[in-house]
Amino acid sequence: KKLAVFVSGGGSNFRSIHEACIRGSIHGDIVVLVTSKPGCGGADYARDKGLPVVPFPKSKNVPDGISPIDLVAVLRRLEVDFVLLAGYLQLIPVELIQAYPRSIVNIHPSLLPAFGGKGNYGMRVHKAVIASGARYTGPTIHFVDEHYDTGRILAQRVVPVLANDTAEDLAARVLKEEHRLYVEVITALCEERIIWREDGVPIIRSKE
């Protein structure tokens, strides 16, 4: 399968996905990196690996910025099967969602629907989890719809919150699990092991 990864930041999830593709545990290839921040660490890593980088900033008036329609055209030309958001901080335009039904996934660093939604990203999520007194958190991978963090949940993993955790401690513990979970889920996506239950809930079928 052909994969497009979208990043806005350091891109550690992107790196772990890329490494899993290279070693063959994911039966897929990253064919393009799309970024809202062309100077971010993830974009630098992609250029370093010789992957095409497509800038897709918030406003199409920004130099180099392309419109959602043009972005869809680029992804189609590259025959992209799945779009993987990995620390991508912009809302996905409706044109893209319609062009790729049930094919766009995001990773969020809390157990959705808790601690999600607009403004809940990065360290803010972990601070809010600690402030709430929750004893467990962890990554969620979900399909993407036109809102922040509300699409169908595909996979989650529980990570404990320890009594003396700082937001940074917790972020690091969750991030480690993000890397594992995202690779597992993308492996399943590429092997067509997602089953859609009648009520619209996606389930991952384990390998025979």
Contact flags string 53-92 toward ligand GRF, x per CB under 6 A: ---------------------------------xx-----
* Residue 13 near ligand GRF by CB under 6 A: yes
* Residue 108 near ligand GRF by CB under 6 A: yes
Binding segment toward ligand GRF, per CB under 6 A, in 48-56, 107-115, 146-154, 159-167: 107-115
CA dist., res. 44 & res. 119, Å (int):
26
Beta-carbon contacts of 191 under 8 Å, excluding residues fewer than 6 positions away, are 27, 207
108 is an active site residue:
yes
| Smallest distance, ligand GRF to C-beta of residue 159, A | 12
Nearer to ligand GRF, 60 or 122 (CB): 122
CA dist., res. 99 & res. 57, Å (int):
19
Nearer to ligand GRF, 9 or 151 (CB): 9
| Smallest distance, ligand GRF to C-beta of residue 39, A | 14
Out of 108, 126, 142, 179, which one is annotated catalytic? 108
Nearer to ligand GRF, 9 or 28 (CB): 9
* Residue 28 near ligand GRF by CB under 6 A: no
Residue 168: phi and psi, rounded to 5, are: -65, -40
| Smallest distance, ligand GRF to C-beta of residue 47, A | 16
Beta-carbon contacts of 125 under 8 Å, excluding residues fewer than 6 positions away, are 108, 109, 110, 115
* Residue 11 near ligand GRF by CB under 6 A: yes
| Smallest distance, ligand GRF to C-beta of residue 172, A | 10
| Smallest distance, ligand GRF to C-beta of residue 95, A | 22
Interacting residue ranges for ligand GRF, rule: CB under 6 A: 7, 9-14, 86-87, 107-109, 175, 178
